[in-house]
Amino acid sequence: MDLADLDPDPVAQLRAWLDDAAAAAPRPDAMVVATATPDGRPSARVVLLRGLDERGLVFYTNRESRKGCELAESPWAAAVLHWWELGRQVRVEGAVEEVAREESEAYWATRPRASRLAAWASPQSSALAGRDELEGRYAEAAARFGGGEIALPVFWGGYRIAPASFEFWTHRDDRLHDRIAYRLTPSGWERERLAP
């Protein structure tokens, strides 16, 4: 991989790699997102990349979950997309903002009904007495909404990682992997090669 192989716009380059991954990987949109507590303790989990444009990368979750609480206290995150089948990885770091409610509502409408009920039922990241408690909460949500519309909960929505940096990585068997970093500067994106 050479600088000339990559689009000068990292969002366009990520979109191209996502297109390649869609043809090769079972979950091309799986993304590890890392957050941190105010005292710097990190936590990471896999979420699904549900939006990508010039403003950044979007994922959705319960805002009262551990990641939601951590983002409320420290609105920065790192994300990693990795496609073993292609020998490629992309790292992204940046500030995080909540997406507009209208954007969350538009995505909410595309979710399967069972997933919308599950969002209402699960007090994500909270301790449960047992599986029965969760299943009871799901039954209550199903009864509450019946066959009608399932409204977007106030505690659920999207987050956008506004990238300050990207790193595109490709595997090499000799471990001399290729790494190209993009950093946002006042004059735009700058690129450089990094040692593996």
pLDDT in tens, the chain (196 residues): 988 889 999 999 999 999 999 999 999 999 999 999 999 999 999 999 999 999 999 999 999 999 999 999 999 999 999 999 999 999 999 999 999 999 999 999 999 999 999 999 999 999 999 999 999 999 999 999 999 999 999 999 999 999 999 999 999 999 999 999 999 999 999 999 999 9
pLDDT at 90: 98
For the question of residue 175 being annotated catalytic, the response is yes
pLDDT at 101: 97
Catalytic residue, from 41, 113, 175, 193: name it. Answer: 175
pLDDT at 122: 96
CATH number of 3-111+154-194: 2.30.110.10
Would you kindly state where each structural domain of the chain is located, as residue ranges?
3-111+154-194
pLDDT at 52: 98
Please spell the DSSP secondary structure of 105-136, one letter per residue: HHHHTTS-HHHHHHHHH--TTS--S-HHHHHH
Burial 87-125 (b: 16+ CB within 10 A, else e): ebbbbbbbebebbeeebbeebbeebeeeebbbbbbbebe
